A and B are shown apart, each in its own frame.
Chain A
Amino acid sequence: MIWVSSLFGLAFGVFLGLVIPWQIPLAYGKYSVVLILAVADAVLSGIQAYKREDFSLSRFGGGFFALAGLGLFLVWFGERLGVDFFPGVVVVFCLRLFWRVPLR
């Protein structure tokens, strides 16, 4: 049931994106990637929590904003410092995503 609503939301989002004629400016490409990974991570973690029946909006929202904020800040700060944190942030988010896949 939760999968249905998520997939429906995803499809609706894609539809909205196709309708809205906008693309992310090239200068913000890195930030949008981080944001996408953060949202994907949040959705997957939310689904897992929902299945465990301990979904909490404050944990969901707080976790999402903390992670996304940290990732975006790291990328931004890395650009200011001249150190590219972007790959590291992406790797961390991807690891989180992969670890959410139940292999057992």
Chain B
Amino acid sequence: MLRVRGSQVVLGLASVLLGMLLVFQYRAGTGLRRDLPPPGYNELASHIERLEVEARVRGQRLEEEIGALRELPGAAKAGADYDEELRLLRLASGLYPLSGPGLEIVLEDSGGEGLAFVDPNLLLVHYDHLLFLVNELWVAGAEAVAVNGERVVAQTGFTCAGPLILAGTKRLAPPYVIHALGDPAALRAALTMPGGFIEAQIQPYGLGLTITEKSDLFIPAYRGDLVFDHARLGREDSHTPPDKREDACVHIRAYAEELTEDGRAGD
């Protein structure tokens, strides 16, 4: 009887071991299934891989095409033409810092006390003084103009802002120093001609004015914005079909941004 019982206990213990092992194994099996990638995963992965390879191949083909186009006769010449055009455009739009002979004009408020009946406003330098002086300089053949180190370009406007004068968005304070590149003698002659702007509008009010001929002036590049939000290429541009005008404008804007970046980096 005792022996029988002992065998029962042994068999029961073996059964316990069997049950535990079954559960552990079951867990491992289900865990294995849980860790498996979802169905369709491999197809997706291979699809992505195929697309990546395709993209790489197409990119290589495009690079080859670009290289072939560069090799074409005339490509280099066209590139050189563009470089020259780019240089001229940058010169014309004031994106290059320049140096050379020219005039330095210093303009200051009248130092003396005016007569009691004279409007004190007449004894100050106003924005229109600068405007007219710069205008005189352009007319006299100046190639580049800067006021207090601010390059004057086609879009630069002079404004009165209380005690200050604005050139574009740059604030100017006296003394106003105008630098102009060009033939110094010719510029001076044009400014000081009898009956000219200086004789008529500046000297009578006793504004401080000194004109110096310089052999080596430095004029910085234009650092302001180049924004063309509303302007489109005009109809006279027969090279640009009407449906391409928008693109051309975007192209010009990107081009202008690139130039500004270069101008800043060059400072």
Contacts and interface: CB of A to CB of B under 8 A. Distances in A.
B18 to A, nearest CB: 5
A18 B21 CA distance: 10
Contacts of B9: 5
B135 interface: no
Nearest to B7: A55
Interface stretch (B25-33, B199-207, B254-262): B25-33
Interface in A25-39: 25-26, 29, 32-33, 35-36, 39
B17 to A, nearest CB: 6
A36 B22 CA distance: 7
A49 B6 CA distance: 13
Provide the main secondary structure of the chain A interface: helix
B16 interface: yes
A29 B8 CA distance: 30
B7 A14 contact: no
A16 B15 contact: no
Contacts of A16: 16, 19-20, 23
A46 B19 CA distance: 16
B4 A13 contact: no
A5 B23 CA distance: 19
Contact of B12 (A9, A17, A25): A9
Contact of A6 (B6, B12, B21, B23): B12
A49 B8 CA distance: 11
A2 B21 CA distance: 21
B167 to A, nearest CB: 77
A65 B206 CA distance: 122
Size class of B's contact patch?
A: 20 to 34
A40 interface: yes
B10 A39 contact: no
A72 B31 CA distance: 23
The number of chain A residues touching the other chain, given as a range, is 35 or more
Contact of B7 (A12, A18, A33, A46): A46
B20 A32 contact: no
B28 A29 contact: yes
B86 interface: no
Contacts of A73: none
B24 A24 contact: yes
Contacts of A64: 14
Contact of B23 (A7, A8, A17, A50): A17
Contact of B10 (A10, A18, A60): A60
A99 interface: no
A64 B20 CA distance: 17
Given A5-B15, A29-B25, A47-B11, 5 more contacts: A1-B8, A2-B11, A9-B13, A23-B24, A32-B24
Interface of B: 3-4, 6-25, 27-28, 31-32
26 contacts: A5-B8, A8-B15, A9-B11, A9-B14, A9-B15, A9-B19, A10-B15, A12-B19, A13-B18, A13-B21, A14-B20, A15-B19, A16-B20, A17-B20, A23-B28, A24-B27, A25-B28, A26-B32, A33-B25, A36-B21, A36-B22, A43-B14, A46-B11, A50-B7, A57-B7, A60-B7
Closest CB pairs A-B (n = 9): A13-B19, A17-B23, A9-B15, A9-B12, A23-B27, A13-B16, A55-B7, A14-B19, A17-B20
